[in-house]
Amino acid sequence: MIDFIKLVENILEEQGKTKQSLFEDCVVSANTFFKYRQRYPSLKTVIKIANYLNVSLDYLFEFSNENHFKAYKYENLKFYDNLISSIESRKISSRQFCKDLGYAKDNIIRWKNGTQPSIQRLLEMTEYFGCSIDDLIL
């Protein structure tokens, strides 16, 4: 598991900010933030933090050394469409994709209906497809 707290701390340090600024500016509470030692935040929370820090998700998760930040709008994510395009470009079925990654087939239906994947799932998919997070969600 990627140390999400350390990733955020590194960027805060680059920007001359502290974790306290995240808490004081109501981006995330201290209690919630420190729970990310055991689990990943939701995609919605990660986007909120990335927007606050003015960093792309690829930069935040160290997929890229260059920050190509463009403000994220959670309601404008195109995850499902990009997922289907990625699956089709591999010339596999959705069923095979789910089998390869050990996902339940009903995940595809939930994603089609607008549910966003967890950060853990997104990271698994970026590795599977050899793409960036932004490639999957924008």
Report which of 51, 79, 64, 50 is spatially closest to residue 137, judged by C-alpha positions: 79
Would you list the DSSP string of 35-65?
HTTTSPPPHHHHHHHHHHHT--HHHHTTS-S
Q: What is the pLDDT of residue 111?
A: 96
Domains by residue range for the chain, with CATH = 4-60 (1.10.260), 74-137 (1.10.260.40)
Per-residue confidence (pLDDT) for residue 121, from 0 to 100: 96
What was the pLDDT predicted at 125? 97
Residues with Cβ within 8 Å of residue 109, at least 6 apart in sequence: none
Could you say which residues of the chain have pLDDT below 70?
none
pTM of the model as a whole = 0.90
Q: What is the pLDDT of residue 99?
A: 97
- Residue 2: its pLDDT value, please? 84
